[in-house]
Amino acid sequence: MIKLLFYLIAKRRLLKVKIAIVGTGYVGLVSAVCFAEKGSRVICVDNNEEKIKQLNKGIMPIYENDLEDMLNKNKCSKRLEFTTDLEYAVQKSDIIIIAVGTPMLPNGHADLSQVESVTENIAKFMNEYKIIVNKSTVPVGTQKKVIKLIRDNQINEYDFDVVSNPEFLREGTAIYDTMHGDRIVIGTDNERARKIMTKLYANFNQSIILTSPENAEMIKYAANAFLATKISFINEIANICEIVGADVQEIAKIIGMDKRISPEFLSAGIGFGGACFPKDTKALIKFTEGFGYDFKIVKSVIEVNENQKTKPIEKLTNALSCVKGRTIGILGLAFKPNTDDTRESPAITIINDIQKLGGKIKAYDPIVKDIDKIKFDNIEYVDTAYDAVKDVDAVILVTEWDEFKQLDLKKVIKLMKGNIFIDGRNIYKYTKMFKLGYEYYCIGKKDSQYYKKSR
Ligand SMILES: NC(=O)c1ccc[n+]([C@@H]2O[C@H](COP(=O)([O-])OP(=O)(O)OC[C@H]3O[C@@H](n4cnc5c(N)ncnc54)[C@H](O)[C@@H]3O)[C@@H](O)[C@H]2O)c1
Ligand SMILES: O=c1ccn([C@@H]2O[C@H](COP(=O)(O)OP(=O)(O)O[C@H]3O[C@H](CO)[C@@H](O)[C@H](O)[C@H]3O)[C@@H](O)[C@H]2O)c(=O)[nH]1
């Protein structure tokens, strides 16, 4: 009974911690909704007025399963608030979480200007002790820079702490990842901040790892670089499999049975894309170069990935000999299924290369309605997968959406003008496709190319 009473008092105190989240991108929105779901009151701030207007109307600017419903549920219970007014958010909150973008600069470094500008303003608006939490992915040493920036920009000298709290969610499974993550990393050397942060995350029921700010910042880059390395490694194995007639899916499955390797992140394909791996691997190289360190493995990971994105075009030009004047159907534009994000999607490289070769594009994605209006003005976007394959000379499958796994492949080949099908994600089987009359190409497995050569 007494235990329960203590628990309820602790929970009440915890729910009283008011949070502001600056930046309503993927990370900001998912974190906000999950904190609200766990009972906290969250004020979300963005300097993009249009986004805030939409969010206030209950419209989610990104596609992520369940996110819009959870947003509206928590908005109704007044746990979520959206504003462009940073001063109001800072002054009403105990913890301010920075979740703005850290995109790649043309020279490969992480662009910290959004983090810096937000920090300067938070400093100006402080009215009492605050904890500033950095969730954006930043190079080691940024926590110290943030401390200095706050000191330099404070109008009155209020006490504060800066915590590094990297985010590990994946797009497409972001809510699940936040609610059931493998670990929550809290980087701080300060006891007061450590206690408050531990309380903040107490009811997420996950392992809370307390470490130094430098470790926390490095953990994020090391995790992403390691996962990217696994993907490039299996893609190289796939390339060798194509030469020797082995099957990369079988190999990945069996090496993954070794717990030290694990089956995760061993799906060969057309390279990694997205908002994180491409920029974070480059930022890690650039950041370590600053210390005179040559990060050879990660450099190769990027090189292998760039090469992998060209595989579908290599297969297309081998099969078609001339792409000029031909129409290619593209299935999938998002960098992975269950998201509308096209940042660094392999689809961009593929479409670009086809257009350079004089080919025409018909494209369909279940969620993305256009990829980049400015760069690609000559794409016919269609409403169904069947429209995308109608009268085309070849099809390239870019994103492994479930919808594509359920396509009527007999109907597809009947609708097509040609019979070339390039499966960039290995979702079909050669034997079935061959029987249906396709010239079928995939990644790291025996396909039409292998049988043509061995004939
Ligand atoms: N996207 C992911 O899956 C993911 C996962 C883990 C970590 N991260 C990291 O988290 C950070 C955020 O990523 P994201 O994809 O959510 O970013 P994003 O670029 O999609 O969104 C950033 C948001 O910050 C807002 N913003 C920029 N400057 C601002 C300012 N001065 N005041 C208020 N708002 C401002 C922008 O308008 C935008 O809405 C990045 O560092 C990223 O590397 C991203
Ligand atoms: O076996 C695999 C797994 C992934 N991918 C590709 O790798 C990219 C990234 O996929 P994934 O990691 O699932 O998505 P992200 O949302 O980019 O998530 C990564 O990047 C986030 C931002 O830093 C981190 O928080 C996550 O932990 C990390 O997985 C995509 O293009 C996938 O198609 C493969 O090619 N093969």
* Residue 206 forms part of a structural domain: no
51 labeled binding residue: yes
Which residue bears the tokens 């930043």?
138
ipTM for the predicted complex: 0.98
220 labeled binding residue: yes
Q: What is the dihedral of CA 51, 53, 59, 62, to 10 degrees?
A: 0
- Residue to mutate, 26, 146, 153, ligand 1, most ligand atoms under 8 Å from C-beta: 26
pLDDT, average across residues 141-162: 97
pLDDT, average across residues 313-337: 96
Q: Which residues pair with 98 in a beta bridge?
A: 22, 134
Query: Looking at the 3D structure of the chain, how many domains does it have?
Result: 3
Ligand 1 pocket check for 101: Cβ under 6 Å:
yes
Domain boundary residue, one of 286, 306, 326: 306
- Are residues 401 and 262 part of one domain? no
Asked if the model's pLDDT at residue 338 lies above 90, the reply is: yes
CA separation for the pair 455, 446 (Å, rounded): 13
Mean pLDDT taken over the chain: 95
Confidence of residue 106 (pLDDT cuts 50, 70, 90): very high
User: What was the pLDDT predicted at 74?
Assistant: 86
User: What was the pLDDT predicted at 48?
Assistant: 98
User: What was the pLDDT predicted at 339?
Assistant: 95
pLDDT, average across residues 177-183: 97
269 labeled binding residue: yes
* Residue 275 forms part of a structural domain: yes
* Catalytic residue numbers, as ranges: 276
b vs e for 370-379, b when ≥16 Cβ sit within 10 Å of the residue's Cβ?
ebeeeebeeb
* Residue 231 forms part of a structural domain: yes
- Are residues 401 and 283 part of one domain? no
User: What was the pLDDT predicted at 321?
Assistant: 83
Q: CA geometry: angle at 165 spanning 263 and 300, to 5°? A: 45
Ligand 1 centroid to Cα of residue 100, in Å, is 3
- Are residues 317 and 232 part of one domain? no
Which residue bears the tokens 């392992």?
207
* Residue 183 forms part of a structural domain: no
pTM: 0.95
Instruction: Note down the domain range covering 96.
Output: 2-171
- Based on its alpha-carbon atoms, the radius of gyration of the chain, rounded to whole angstroms, reads 24
pLDDT, average across residues 134-153: 98
User: What was the pLDDT predicted at 355?
Assistant: 95
Q: Which atom of ligand 1 is nearest to the CA of 23?
A: 24
Query: pLDDT (tens digit, 9 = 90+) per residue, 410-442?
Result: 999 999 999 999 999 999 999 999 999 999 999
